[in-house]
Amino acid sequence: MAVLTKPSTVLPDYILTLDETIAFARKNFRTLSYLDKAIDIIKNIGIKKRHLVMPMALTSRHAGFGYRNSVFDIEAKRLIPQAIHEALANASLDCRDISAIIYVSCTGFSMPSLTAWMINEFNFPRNTVQIPIAQMGCAAGAVAINRAQDFIAAHPGSNVLIVSCEFCSLSYQPTDTSISSLLIDGLFGDAVTAAVVTSEARPGLRLIVNDSYLVPDSEEWISYDIEDTGFHFRLDKRVPGAMLSLAPIMNDLASKKKLNISELDFYIIHAGGPRILENIAVTLNVPLEKFKYSFDTLMNCGNISSSVVLDTYRRMCEGENITENRNGIIAGFGPGITTEMNLVTSC
């Protein structure tokens, strides 16, 4: 048995509100003919605020990819410790109990992985298995949960720590003025999340069965162009529509346990944007209010990439009394287009 315990979330200090986002766009892109259209779309997304690792005045000055990656390293090592301590406390475990660390991020790079730093910094066991995952984008939170479940199945009695560190603001490109780039700049935020998947009896979500699915011929719809200035995020307008094809896939997973995907008790869904959530609600034939915690993450943090599903579950833990034996699903979406899903039951 693998149980996902309550996650922790650590948000950077600097806050960018919707009004500040719009004011920044009007000041810096006032000559663009499509600026008003882009601003209208940003307003309709409805994100109230996002957290950044640097104030916007510094974020908007591109000092080079090397500098930004150094900022990533410094801020990751500053924020990750709190997330780890809280996640371990939530699971009633300590560092000595951890068998593997799954670290996910698509917004910074280091070699060795930050898993090596974590083992040294926190005195995890020397034989802790390191599983860094770097190229799954927003899907990586759900990927990490699924791989933790698989690890425990292969190593009974083990415990896996998941750490997600996403500083999307460090991919801001001030000279990229395409409308898709402007929308992305108004959507993504920064966060660190962590959680323990344990083989011990704990309150949380029992991971029942996982699955993955790749939407055919869609690998260019969510991608990075890697240039001298770093990561240029590309998002195709067909992405929200791709969600329409996923209902049968998610229903197939639910049916393995004789459940109906439209009648689950809760849904922990990656909040890539409101249209994605709306399309999934329609295709699954569930009320949009079932996604209230996904919307809560989106409205108050923006799209925080692989951290979304963990923060959404944290908000669900804090927002209601989760009784035992309620059925739900965790689903993340990312480059590929890849879908990672896990059918879960509260315990």
| Number of neighbours of residue 135 by Cβ within 10 angstroms | 13
Catalytic residue among 106, 138, 168, 301: 138
Beta strand pairing status for 3-4 and 205-214? antiparallel
β-partners of residue 190 are 167
| Number of neighbours of residue 187 by Cβ within 10 angstroms | 21
Helices (H), the chain: 18-28, 35-45, 56-59, 65-90, 114-122, 140-154, 179-185, 239-242, 247-255, 274-284, 292-301, 308-319
| Number of neighbours of residue 155 by Cβ within 10 angstroms | 14
Sign of the dihedral defined by the CA atoms of residues 216, 219, 220, 223, in that order: positive
Is 138 tagged catalytic? yes
* Helix 292-301 and helix 308-319, axial crossing angle in degrees, nearest 10: 120
Ordered DSSP codes for 9-30: EE--SEEEEHHHHHHHHHHHST
Helices (H), 228-291: 239-242, 247-255, 274-284
Q: Which residues are catalytic?
A: 138
